[in-house]
Amino acid sequence: MANAQNSAIKMTGFADLYYAYNFNKPTGKNISLAYNHSRHNEVNVNNLIVSLKNNSEQVRGSVALHTGTYVKANYSAEPPLLQYINEANVGVKLQKKVWLDAGIFPSHIGLETSISKDNWTLTRSFCAENSPYYESGVKVTFLPNDKWAIVALVLNGWQNMSEQNSNKAVGVQAQFYPIKKVLFNYSNFIGEGRNSPDSLMRLRHFHDLYCTYILTSKVSLAAVFDIGFEEKSNIDKKMLSWYSPALFIKYKIDSHYSSCLRVDYFGDEWGIVIPTVTPFNLQASAISVNIDYYLDENMLFRIEAKKIISKDNVFLNNNEFVNNIATVVVSLAISF
């Protein structure tokens, strides 16, 4: 057994504390369309994670527990005990450039993750909030060289650990660095997307594309486009679609300050992913801008303003449906 000095096991943690104010003043305190920083007019914890990770030459693994309003918003469909699991996976090196991992791990889809400090903006785009943050299953990772990374996955489903059916999903991720300053990513998901019983199974396939480009030492750009298709019902096999593009411009002011502007759109005219309580389904644009201040390498203070404008009146404000929603969020993220 390795002694403490040679042990590859490392304990880490992350805390994201926040205050959000939504100008529609939701009576139930939950901010519309938000699965992160989702509680109005409260000082709260979005995500608190404590993890143990092992990375050795032949074996790797991670066990992480979490709590916070992010967990309540994203894991409510899981059994109570599973809701506290952020990661639980183990991997083995099959060959020099091939790894096999199994368990619960972060999603292979999307530019943005559940860890706010790793994202360009504080709040999440439509793309991120409406695609998986986590997944469970088995994946094979192939790293042929320093330009390519390819992952193939067999999953229990679309952001779920426990299953209510016998269906499995498959996915692929391919990342390409033509030069160090540019990244192209393609990810997909093909399978049942609602964790419904077998008799109600509807096929879903989803495609995520994004590119990041470090333009200068101060300016970075990112573009995202997501599109999904799902059968209308288990009987009617007509494919209905939704899509979401997003653009990011990040500017590094100095060693402590940076800012990012994001514009994005969500088109779900069939109400596949976001059904509303009104006669209309969501077709909306959003704009956000944030200012970040790095107190040190482990502490990040952020403030962000975000405005969403919908084609139709789908947001509730003082018992009246309106076409817009505005939120300001302040956050302090700490790594330890």
Q: What would the pLDDT profile of 203-232 be if each residue is shown by its tens digit?
A: 999 999 999 999 999 999 999 999 999 999
Is it the case that residue 30 has pLDDT exceeding 80?
yes
Mean of pLDDT over the chain: 96
Contact (CB, 8 A) for 29 and 43: no
Position 319 scores a pLDDT of 86
Position 8 scores a pLDDT of 80
Q: For residue 1, what pLDDT band results from cuts at 50, 70 and 90?
A: very low
6: nearest Cα among 56, 52, 45: 56
> Percentage of the chain with pLDDT > 70?
98
End-to-end CA distance of the chain: 27
pLDDT tens-digit series, residues 176-197? 999 999 999 999 999 999 999 9
Position 191 scores a pLDDT of 98
Is it the case that residue 3 has pLDDT exceeding 80?
no
Position 297 scores a pLDDT of 92
pLDDT tens-digit series, residues 99-138? 999 999 999 999 999 999 999 999 999 999 999 999 999 9
Instruction: Write down the pTM of the prediction.
Output: 0.94
Contact (CB, 8 A) for 184 and 211: yes
What does the alpha-carbon distance between residue 334 and residue 325 come to, in Å, rounded to a whole number?
A: 29
Write the burial class of residue 166 (CB in 10 Å: 0-12 exposed, 13-18 middle, 19+ buried): exposed
Residue range 311-317: average pLDDT?
95
283: nearest Cα among 271, 298, 297, 292: 271
**Residue 277 has which token pair?**
């309580």
pLDDT tens-digit series, residues 249-300? 999 999 999 999 999 999 999 999 999 989 999 999 999 999 999 999 999 9
pLDDT tens-digit series, residues 37-60? 999 999 999 999 999 999 999 999
* CA pseudo-torsion sign 321, 326, 332, 335: positive
All domains in the chain, ordered by first residue = 21-256+285-335 (2.40.160.10)
Radius of gyration of the chain, Cα coordinates, nearest whole angstrom: 20
Position 7 scores a pLDDT of 55
107: nearest Cα among 126, 78, 131, 77: 131
Contact (CB, 8 A) for 134 and 140: no
Q: For residue 4, what pLDDT band results from cuts at 50, 70 and 90?
A: very low
> Percentage of the chain with pLDDT > 90?
96
Residue range 304-323: average pLDDT?
95
Angle at 239 between CA 282 and CA 36, to 5 degrees: 40
Write the burial class of residue 266 (CB in 10 Å: 0-12 exposed, 13-18 middle, 19+ buried): buried
Residue range 228-256: average pLDDT?
97
3-state secondary structure the chain: CCCCCCCCEEEEEEEEEEEEEECCCCCCCECCCCCCCCEECEEEEEEEEEEEEEECCCEEEEEEEEECHHHHHHCCCCCCCHHHEEEEEEEEEEECCEEEEEEEEECCCCCCCCCHHHCCCCCCCHHHHCCCCEEEEEEEEECCCCCEEEEEEEECCCCCCCCCCCCCEEEEEEEECCCCCEEEEEEEEEEECCCCCHHHCCEEEEEEEEEEEECCCCEEEEEEEEEEEEECCCCCCCEEEEEEEEEEEEEECCCCEEEEEEEEEEECCCCCCCCCCCCCCCEEEEEEEEEEEEEECCEEEEEEEEEEEECCCCEEECCEEECEEEEEEEEEEEEC
**Residue 42 has which token pair?**
């409260």
What does the alpha-carbon distance between residue 49 and residue 335 come to, in Å, rounded to a whole number?
A: 9
**Residue 170 has which token pair?**
């498959």
Contact (CB, 8 A) for 129 and 116: no
Q: What are residue 40's DSSP bridge partners?
A: 20
Position 49 scores a pLDDT of 98
Position 2 scores a pLDDT of 40
